[in-house]
């Protein structure tokens, strides 16, 4: 099976009237479908529970996006058992068969790009460009991982040895749990799930309770693409019961998780405990957040740096693990940078995602309250330059983009992940001091450096300890195949999603030797 060379899915240009009309039509279609009920699906069986929960639009907090089933431990156990049974057949299928299904899913998703983007506008408050980029990334994962699955199906080269025929092949792990976040409700959910499926594993998917409808839409997409029953099972419900049951079950072979550090650590610990009847050590793939920094050198293009910081800090309301939450600025340009930064930030307008404002809502009431509590802490740890308050509170969960200056590198708002539109600006004596500050957190996901000095760039490449380092550009917006994504330290297991190594996390090597003489 030979496929054309991989190409990234292009982003939609919404300045074109025809694209705006398509998006408006998709928004109207999705809005007409809000409030529908979605079932748990295990082995093709559709299940309703007595207890329900609701997904709400964070831009319009009383608007129900969907009604979901509140799954329990028994259903989670059933899902893993069914996935294990399905693995016996799915794990033996030819890679070409699996790839055809993934490519069919990519084709379907491409046709419904605006519709899937519109669901994100309503369920998680992404503006049009952010939602479109999420769908484009999801299409990329389907295409990119399909090609790498065919590559690994060829096995690995081994050294020739007299009298023997030797080979090394890659085989799937088994049945696993995929536990994705709400902030990239299609891209990350799909990327982790497809990485497992295309390599021959089966999956129990438990989406975030803040974005379960998009998870249900993805399940339906994969079914339409031809995925057999039981290969992908869909269950909604609380992480404390459904999620923990999936992670702890002795027949769970792997767990793929993206989310907070606290939940990631809990999953890592729970998965490490060998349960009665368990015959393997579970593999955990975890991406867990960051406290990402952009260094602005005294030899930087300040206008470019300001734009990069603003987009990285406040794009999607700072709700990205890659978001810039620390700007570390060399003191000789500190005041000038801050002046430009505040001016650029205050241009940002706030409003509903459906109306495509640059800044929309944060995900829910709990997130809003947490962010506001950090803003109160920040008022005692730095100088509030702009923002610092909730707005449009009768509509949704909106917070003004907030900047604190003169923040100590050890302050809480400079060390703890806030996951909202809050930026701490820190003064550095020089470039070396800036790198020292940047590295001084427990995280190590993304980082960026703005400087024209080649020697400083080379120094940063060696010393700035992050999984994804960017030079003279923003620290968000990793593209599949271009920027393999994953971080160091408490940012996770450095999975490098969207990179050539990622599928190996769902495979195990088997060496086979046959005596021929």
- What confidence tens digit (pLDDT) does each residue in 350-372 have? 999 999 999 999 999 999 999 99
Q: How far apart are the first and last CA of the chain?
A: 34
Residues 272 and 338 in one domain: no
What is the rounded average pLDDT for all residues in the chain? 98
Strand order in the sheet with 283-287: 45-47, 40-42, 232-234, 202-205, 175-179, 254-258, 283-287
Q: What is the DSSP letter of 503?
A: G
Cβ atoms of 302 and 316 closer than 8 Å: no
Q: Are residues 198 and 308 in the same domain?
A: no
Q: What is the pLDDT of residue 437?
A: 98
What is the four-CA torsion angle of 10, 17, 316, 235, rounded to 10 degrees?
Answer: -70
380 located within any domain = yes
Is 335 part of a structural domain of the chain? yes
| Phi and psi torsions of 102, nearest 5° | -65, -40
Cite the beta strand spans of 392-466 per DSSP E: 398-399, 402-405, 422-428, 443-444, 446-450
Query: Is 159 within a domain?
Result: yes
What's the CA gap between 197 and 194, in Å, rounded?
Answer: 5
Whether residues 65 and 127 share a domain: the answer is: yes
**pLDDT band for position 459 (cuts 50, 70, 90):** very high
Could you count the other beta carbons within 10 Å of the beta carbon of residue 97? 11
CA torsion sign, 354 to 123 to 142 to 99?
Answer: negative
CA 271 to chain centre: 21
CA distance 363 to 126: 10
Pairing of strands 402-405, 422-428: parallel
Residue whose tokens read 């602005």:
296
Residue-wise DSSP of 24-84: HHHHHHHHHTTTEEE-EEETTEEE--S-EEEEEETTEEEEEEEEEE---HHHHHHHHHHHH
The SS3 call for residue 426 is strand
Task: Indicate if the alpha-carbon torsion angle 223, 228, 231, 234 is positive or negative.
Answer: positive
Domains in the chain, number: 2
Residue 302 lies in a domain: yes
| Residues 96 and 158 both lie in one domain | yes
Q: What is the Cα–Cα distance from 413 to 374, expressed in whole angstroms?
A: 7
**Residues 271 and 337 occupy one common structural domain:** no
Long-range CB contacts (< 8 A, 24+ apart) of 93-98?
93/200, 95/149, 95/150, 95/153, 95/198, 95/200, 96/1, 96/150, 98/149, 98/197, 98/198, 98/199, 98/200
Does some domain include residue 150?
yes
pLDDT in tens, 328-345: 999 999 999 999 999 999
Q: Quick check: is 484 in a domain?
A: no
pLDDT digits 0-9 by tens, 184-216: 999 999 999 999 999 999 999 999 999 999 999
Is the dihedral angle over the CA atoms 451, 453, 456, 462 positive or is it negative? positive
Identify whether 367 is part of a domain: yes
Active site residues: 287
Q: What are residue 169's phi and psi, to 5 degrees?
A: -120, 160
User: Which structural domain range is residue 95 located in?
Assistant: 21-288+494-513
pLDDT at 237: 97
Nearest to 269 by CA among 291, 292, 286: 286
Could you tell me the two tokens for 38? 């979605």
**What is the reported pLDDT for 400?**
98
Say whether both 230 and 366 belong to one domain: no
pLDDT digits (tens, 9 = 90+) for 260-299: 999 999 999 999 999 999 999 999 999 999 999 999 999 9
What is the reported pTM? 0.97
Q: Are 259 and 381 part of one and the same domain? A: no
- Spatial separation of the C-alpha atoms in residues 222 and 54, rounded to whole Å: 23
Distance between CA atoms of 486 and 496, rounded to whole angstroms?
A: 5
* Mean pLDDT to the nearest integer, 459-463: 98
CATH number for 199 = 3.40.605.10
Q: Are residues 297 and 283 in the same domain?
A: no
The pLDDT of residue 318 is above 90? yes
Q: What is the mean pLDDT of residues 239-254?
A: 97
Give pLDDT, residue 517.
77
Q: What is the CA radius of gyration of the chain?
A: 23
pLDDT of the residue at 223: 98
Q: What percent of the chain has pLDDT over 70?
A: 100
499 and 356 share one domain: no
CATH number (domain holding residue 424): 3.40.309.10
Give the mean pLDDT of 239-268.
97
Cβ-contact 325, 93 below 8 angstroms: no
Q: Where are the alpha helices (DSSP H) in 153-207?
A: 187-198
- Tell me, yes or no, whether 3 lies in a domain: no
Helix (H, G, I), strand (E, B) or coil at 216: helix
String of DSSP letters for 238-298: -IIIIIHHHHH-TT--EEEEES-HHHHHHHHHHHHSPPTT--SPPEEEEE----EEEEE-T
- Note the Cα 231 to chain centre separation in Å: 22
Residues 185, 272, single domain; the answer is yes
């Amino acid at each position: 099976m030979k496929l054309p060379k991989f190409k990234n899915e292009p982003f939609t240009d919404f300045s074109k009237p025809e694209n705006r009309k398509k998006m408006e039509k998709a928004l109207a279609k999705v809005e007409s479908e809000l409030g529908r009920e979605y079932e748990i699906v295990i082995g093709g069986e559709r299940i309703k529970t007595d207890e329900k929960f609701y997904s709400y639009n964070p831009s319009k907090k009383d608007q129900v996006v969907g009604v979901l089933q509140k799954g329990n431990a028994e259903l989670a156990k059933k899902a893993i058992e069914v996935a294990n049974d399905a693995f016996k057949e799915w794990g033996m299928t030819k890679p070409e068969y699996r790839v055809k299904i993934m490519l069919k899913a990519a084709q379907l998703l491409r046709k419904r790009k605006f519709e899937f983007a519109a669901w994100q506008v309503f369920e998680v408050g992404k503006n049009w460009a952010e939602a479109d980029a999420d769908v484009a990334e999801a299409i990329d994962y389907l295409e990119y991982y399909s090609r790498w699955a065919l590559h690994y199906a060829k096995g690995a080269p081994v050294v020739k040895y007299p009298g023997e025929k030797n080979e090394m092949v890659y085989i799937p792990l088994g049945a696993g749990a995929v536990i994705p976040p709400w902030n990239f409700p299609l891209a990350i959910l799909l990327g982790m799930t497809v990485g497992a499926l295309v390599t021959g594993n089966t999956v129990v998917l438990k989406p975030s309770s803040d974005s379960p409808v998009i998870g249900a839409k993805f399940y339906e997409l994969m079914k339409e693409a031809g995925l057999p029953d039981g290969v992908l099972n869909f269950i909604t419900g609380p992480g404390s019961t459904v999620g923990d049951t999936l992670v702890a079950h002795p027949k769970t072979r792997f767990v793929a998780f993206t989310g907070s550090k606290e939940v990631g650590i809990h999953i890592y610990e729970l998965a490490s405990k060998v349960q009665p009847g368990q015959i393997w050590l579970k593999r955990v793939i975890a991406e867990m957040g960051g406290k990402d920094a952009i260094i602005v050198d005294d030899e930087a293009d300040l206008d470019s740096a300001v734009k990069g910081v603003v987009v990285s800090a406040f794009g999607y309301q700072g709700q990205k693990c890659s978001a810039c939450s620390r700007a570390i600025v060399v003191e000789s340009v500190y005041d000038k940078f801050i002046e430009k930064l505040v001016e650029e930030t205050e241009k940002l307008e706030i409003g509903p995602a459906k109306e495509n404002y640059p800044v929309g809502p944060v995900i829910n009431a709990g997130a809003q309250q947490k962010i506001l509590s950090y803003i109160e802490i920040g008022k005692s740890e730095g100088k509030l330059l702009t923002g610092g308050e909730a707005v449009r509170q009768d509509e949704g969960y909106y917070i003004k983009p907030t900047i604190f200056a003169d923040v100590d590198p050890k302050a809480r708002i400079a060390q703890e992940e806030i996951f909202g539109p809050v930026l701490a600006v820190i003064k550095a004596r020089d470039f070396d001091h800036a790198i020292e500050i940047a590295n001084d957190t427990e995280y190590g996901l993304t980082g960026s450096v703005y400087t024209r000095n080649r020697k400083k760039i080379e120094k940063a490449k060696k010393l700035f300890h992050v999984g994804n380092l960017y030079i003279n550009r923003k620290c968000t917006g990793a593209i599949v195949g271009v920027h393999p994504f994953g971080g160091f330290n408490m940012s996770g297991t450095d999975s490098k999603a969207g990179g050539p190594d990622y599928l190996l996390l769902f495979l195990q090597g088997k060496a086979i030797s046959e005596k021929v003489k």
